[in-house]
Chains A and B, each alone.
Chain A
Amino acid sequence: MSGPAPMPASPPGDSPGASAQPALSVRNLSTVFESPGRTVHAVRDVSFDMRPTERLGVVGESGSGKSALALSILGLIEPPGRVVGGEIRLGGRDISKLSDRALGAVRGNDIALVLQDPMSALDPVRTIGRQVVDAIAVHEPELRRAAARKRAAELLREVDIPQAERRLDDYPHQYSGGMRQRVAIAMAIAHNPSVLIADEPTTALDVTTQSQVLALLDRLVEQHRTAVILITHNLGIVSDFCDSVAVMYAGRFVETSGVDHIFLSPTHPYSEALLKCVPNPERLAEGPLPAITGFPPDLSQLPHGCSFQPRCPVGKDIPECRGQTPQPHTVEGPSGAAIVECHFAEQRIGEVKV
């Protein structure tokens, strides 16, 4: 099949960077995990563009392929998984066909990664300083040890680690969770990447620390003009932090738009259902918080047609939804444009209010 029309995740024209070359452009990216007699389709035909400095939130249930997407973009899918197709352009350069060695020069340099669990994102038997120095030195092998260490201390100061110089020689277990996540962020921004992929960077932190880490991330990407892919299942974080949203379901981007559109008039029935699961004090009177019925599909045995159809309040048992996989529809709603993979996209646009 041919990919959906290239289109920025955000509607064009609302920002000065829109006409520039995208910071990241992904086309028809697909990733599978293979074991004997079973193929799990973790990422299916995902396409999107990101402007420089754009912040894209990727939301979806656990197991919808969000983390696999992050690792696929970085070329870090390990066997038995593999990227089976697609193109990843970073600043115009296709990095999807690069060898692992060539990708090494890109990772941590042009595109960086922050992971969910700060407790396990740092090596417990290596000092914080050495781990930060590793991140610096790998792309600047000519740098002297003392200079790299000085730079590491600067990076730690930049992420608000108190007494950075002294605490370089500490081990991860001597840092708190929030501080470890700051270190992870420091390592990620060491080389001013144009794109940062943050895979649930705050999920494992308590609420106060969460907002501190988010504020830090916000400040840094602003300063460094970094585009961010923020993977999360916290829609509150998306509305605070992101410009645009991609709703991921069963390995696909089922709805991609600016944040306003998703929060004001979600068009895909799954997006709508997801939003209705967010606690809202104004709707307390309406009774208990709704939940999406059923379970996400088994990614090795996807239903025919639309993957959401078995759980969909709109499309359940409608032959079209059961028979045909919906193609991306570009629709224009009251709060901006969106790309929606739903047979009823046009019909539903503007109809849904949350």
Chain B
Amino acid sequence: MGLVILKRVIGSIGAIIGATILAFIIMRALPGNPARLIVGPLATPQAVASVSHQIGLDKPIFTQYWLFISHFFEGNWGYSYADGKSVSSLIGERLGATIELALFSFVITMFFAVVLALLVTYRRRPIADRILRGVAYLGFGTPPFFVALILLIVFFKSLHVLPGPEGRLGLQANPPPTVTHLYTVDALIAGQFGTFWASVEHLILPGIALGLSSFSFIVRLLRANLLEISREPFLTVARGKGLRRWTAFRRHALPNAFLPTLTVGGLVLGEFLAGSVLIERVFNWPGVGSLVFDAIVKQDYAVVQTFILLAAVMFVLVNLIVDLLYAVIDPRVRIPVVATA
């Protein structure tokens, strides 16, 4: 077990180093001089040189890389060229919105994927199965921003049942007192149930838009795995012992069928946390994705580079956790086969 953890941790560190090198190279390979971008097109060569010196562009490449990563891990992410605020405070004030949306979307994605996969496998509903496969096919193939627009047209514009693209709360409610930066949780802590409901309402459409394609993938994976595992002889053996069908299914089919889903779930959570740029844009969601979108438009390069690295680190960490969980669940990963008589 210890060896497995060590291997995974070393692998993760390697992946993060790889990501920093990639980010570093890409930034330096992009056309245009960052110093020139900062000072603007009308600045004198002296001004460009001075900024170059200030941000260390005249130092040897290895020194530059070292400064780059040590600053990153110290949390010293520099200042936005657009409005002079520190990148850490900019990202910090947006992070809560992104995390709340990602977690909400992840929870509904997993919940519906598991429930529907069980419905069509354990409960054997052939018609529901066909519908589900059709929806999953469409959901997997449709770009999330397009799904977002369709959802808005149907549920906001036509049916008026859910709020439109107005961020986390809209204009009617005020943000609850900050504790966790998650409005739903903070509203509950403060006992503001109206605010809680408003924040849930505002989460539904972006949550579905963000999660639909992952849901489609996971539900198909889970369905196929459950069908495959339920044909395994050990299920027949369990039934032969006298276990009820559901008990045998819960004890034996679910843990085995969930293993591949766990891996995918990790990837999906990482993706939700890092990759909701367009969805946040469509719903005016004040998260990190919107920040990055604006930063790209304004060529606000300190913000973009920090985001890329943060996303990479987060992705690697989520997957490290998944790998460790995998080892906890699957003994074949953590205990090597010992030759036995």
Listed stretches A89-97, A131-139, A270-278, A345-353; interface member: A131-139
B234 touches A121 (CB 8 A): yes
Contact B242 A106 (CB under 8 A): yes
Task: Say whether A171 contacts B335, CB under 8 Å.
Answer: yes
In the bound complex, what is the Cα–Cα distance between A19 and B248 (angstroms)? 39
> Of residues 139 to 186 in A, which have CB atoms within 8 Å of B's CB atoms?
139, 162, 171, 173-176, 179, 184
Q: Are B243 and A104 interface neighbours, CB within 8 A?
A: yes
B residues 320-334 near A (Cβ < 8 Å) are: 329-332
B 2-47 contacts with A by CB, 8 A: none
Instruction: Indicate whether B308 reaches chain A with its CB closer than 8 angstroms.
Output: no
B222 to chain A, nearest CB (A): 16
Known A123-B256, A125-B255: A115·B233 in contact at CB below 8 Å:
yes
Query: In the docked arrangement, what's the CA distance between A105 and B242, Å?
Result: 6
Select which of B233, B245, B338 is within 8 A of A121 by beta carbon. B233
Q: Does A112 contact B (CB under 8 A)?
A: yes
Residues of B within 8 A of A105 (CB): 242
Question: In chain B, what residue has the closest Cβ to A101?
Answer: B244
Query: Given the complex, which residues of B lie within 8 Å of A113, measured CB to CB?
Result: 236-237, 240
Q: Which residues of A contact B335 (CB under 8 A)?
A: 171, 173-174
Query: Whole-angstrom distance between the alpha carbons of A124 and B233 in the complex?
Result: 11
> Would you give the shortest CB distance from A206 to chain B, in whole angstroms?
13
- A171 (CB) vs chain B CBs: closest residue: B331
- Give the Cβ gap from B232 to chain A, nearest Cβ, in Å: 6
Complex interface residues of chain B between 204 and 261 (CB less than 8 A to chain A): 232-234, 236-245, 251-252, 255-256, 259
**Cβ–Cβ contact A122 & B242, under 8 A:** no
Chain A interface bracket (under 10, 10 to 19, 20 to 34, 35 or more): 35 or more
Task: Return B168 CB to nearest CB of chain A, in Å.
Answer: 41
Is the CB of A218 closer than 8 A to any CB of chain B?
no
Query: CB < 8 Å: which of A71, A108, A124, A187 contacts B256?
Result: A124
A125 touches B330 (CB 8 A): yes
Specify which chain B residues have a CB less than 8 angstroms from the CB of A135 in the assembled complex: 241-242
Question: Does B340 make an interface contact (CB < 8 A)?
Answer: yes
Q: Say whether A76 faces chain B, with CB atoms less than 8 Å apart.
A: yes
Question: What distance in Å separates the Cβ of B323 from its nearest Cβ neighbour in chain A?
Answer: 16
Pair A134/B234 contact, Cβ less than 8 Å: no
Chain B interface size, as a band, is 20 to 34
Q: Note all chain B residues with C-beta closer than 8 A to A176.
A: 340-341
Q: Which residues of A contact B332 (CB under 8 A)?
A: 124-125, 171, 173
A120 CB contacts on chain B under 8 angstroms: 232-234
Is B237 a contact partner of A115 (Cβ separation < 8 A)? yes
**DSSP class of A's interface residues: helix, strand, loop or mixed?**
loop
In the complex, B161 has a CB within 8 A of chain A? no
Check if A108 sits within 8 Å of B232, measured CB to CB.
no
Q: Kindly state whether residue B337 has any CB partner on chain A within 8 Å.
A: yes
In the complex, which residues of chain B have a beta carbon less than 8 angstroms from the beta carbon of A260?
none
Interface flag for A32 (CB, 8 Å): no
Do residues A174 and B244 form an inter-chain contact, with CB atoms below 8 A? no
Residue of B nearest to A190 (CB): B241
Interchain Cβ contacts within 8 Å, total number: 97
Is B130 on the interface with A (CB-CB < 8 A)? no
* A173–B331 CB distance below 8 A: yes
A179 touches B340 (CB 8 A): yes
* Residue B53 interfacial (CB < 8 Å): no
Is the pair B240, A107 in contact by a Cβ cutoff of 8 Å? yes
Contact across chains for A79 and B243 when beta carbons are under 8 A apart: no
- Give min CB distance, B223 to chain A, whole Å: 16
- Decide: A126 and B240 in contact? CB cutoff 8 A: no
Quote the shortest CB–CB distance from B324 to chain A (angstroms).
16
Structural contact, A174 and B338, CB atoms closer than 8 A: yes
A325 to B330, CA, bound (A): 53
Question: Are A76 and B232 in contact (CB-based, < 8 A)?
Answer: no
A109 close to B (CB within 8 Å)? yes
| Closest residue on chain A to residue B258 by CB atoms | A125
Quick check: is B71 within 8 A (CB to CB) of the other chain? no
CB of A117 closer than 8 Å to a CB of B: yes
Interface pair A174/B233, CB less than 8 Å apart: no
B157 interface residue, CB < 8 Å from A? no
Asked whether B85 is an interface residue with its Cβ less than 8 Å from the other chain, the reply is no
Contact of A184 among B237, B244, B259 (CB under 8 A): B237
Compute how far the CA of A51 lies from the CA of B49 in the bound complex, rounded to whole angstroms.
101
Smallest beta-carbon distance A231→chain B, Å: 14
Q: Shortest CB–CB separation between residue B253 and chain A, in angstroms?
A: 9
If A79-B124, A171-B335 touch, does A121 touch B237 (CB 8 Å cutoff)? yes
Q: Is the CB of A126 within 8 A of B252?
A: yes
Which of B234, B251, B329, B337 gathers the greatest number of chain A CB atoms within 10 Å? B234
* Contact status A138-B239, CB under 8 Å: no
Whether A104 pairs with B240 at a CB distance below 8 angstroms is: no
**How far does the alpha carbon of A18 sit from the alpha carbon of B241 in the complex, in Å?**
29
Contact of A100 among B244, B331, B338 (CB under 8 A): B244
Residue of A nearest to B339 (CB): A176
A-B contact pairs, 12 of them (CB 8 A): A74-B240, A101-B244, A107-B241, A108-B241, A122-B234, A123-B234, A123-B256, A125-B332, A179-B340, A179-B341, A188-B240, A190-B241
Can you list the 7 inter-chain pairs with the closest CB atoms, starting with the nearest? A108-B242, A113-B240, A108-B241, A171-B331, A135-B241, A107-B242, A120-B233
